[in-house]
Amino acid sequence: MLFPHKVDGLNFETTSDATDQYNCIAWAASQNDLVVWPDEDEQMAWPPELPRAETIEALEQFFTLAGFMACNDASQVAGVEKVALYVRDGRITHAARQLPNGKWTSKLGSGVDAGHDSPDTLAGGAYGVVVSYMQRKAAGPPTLPPLYPPPAPPPLLFNAAGRPLRR
């Protein structure tokens, strides 16, 4: 069974149509235009300085770069947003994000977005168990760590002597 604790309409509701344009990690980091994953084929976005391995350490490093730090549980704290990281058979499977109202939101693979009461709603099945919680300040725009490749350097505005270039 994919999600044995999920009950539609009770602790789970679909909030969008299915799409392949983004995935759970991007959605947990508040992005909806990118698939972020540490795949060994280097097909999906991933910070170049982090290892491309489907391990919880790599995923925690990703969220650390995005401004998160480890925390203890899924409790709601004002002004703080949390993410829950899932692992099954030693391999990362999913990430969910806490909303300001205390509920949680997930992007299910290449399927739909969903709201759920707690991280445990999606645990116990295909996604395994929650092994880590992380948090960051909710204020401000969502930030992602720099993704490969680094942005192109700005055009030179000064000459070798340090003087401004003339237009």
Pick the binder of another protein from 1, 9, 17, 40 (CB under 8 A): 40
| Residue whose pair of structure tokens reads 């990430």 in the numeric block | 95
Residue 129 as a binder of another protein (CB under 8 A): the answer is no
Q: How far is the CB of 164 from another protein (least distance, A)?
A: 29
Q: Which residues of 107-118 are buried (b: 16+ CB within 10 A; e: fewer)?
A: bbeebebbbbbb
User: CA torsion angle for 9, 15, 20, 26 (degrees, to 10)?
Assistant: -110
Residue 97 · residue 81 · CB < 8 Å: yes
Q: What are the structure tokens assigned to 92, written together?
A: 């990362």
Q: How far is the CB of 117 from another protein (least distance, A)?
A: 18
- The one segment of 42-50, 67-75, 130-138, 159-167 that binds another protein by CB under 8 A: 42-50
Site for another protein in 54-83 (CB under 8 A): 54
Residue 131 as a binder of another protein (CB under 8 A): the answer is no
Residue 124 as a binder of another protein (CB under 8 A): the answer is no
Pick the binder of another protein from 9, 17, 33, 140 (CB under 8 A): 33
Distance between CA atoms of residues 67 and 81, nearest Å: 11
Q: How far is the CB of 11 from another protein (least distance, A)?
A: 17
Element (H or E) spanning 63, and its range? helix 56-65
Q: How far is the CB of 56 from another protein (least distance, A)?
A: 12
**Exposed, middle or buried by CB within 10 Å (0-12, 13-18, 19+), for 7?**
exposed
Residues that bind another protein (CB under 8 A): 2, 18, 20-21, 23-26, 33-37, 39-46, 54, 91-94, 107-111, 126, 147-149
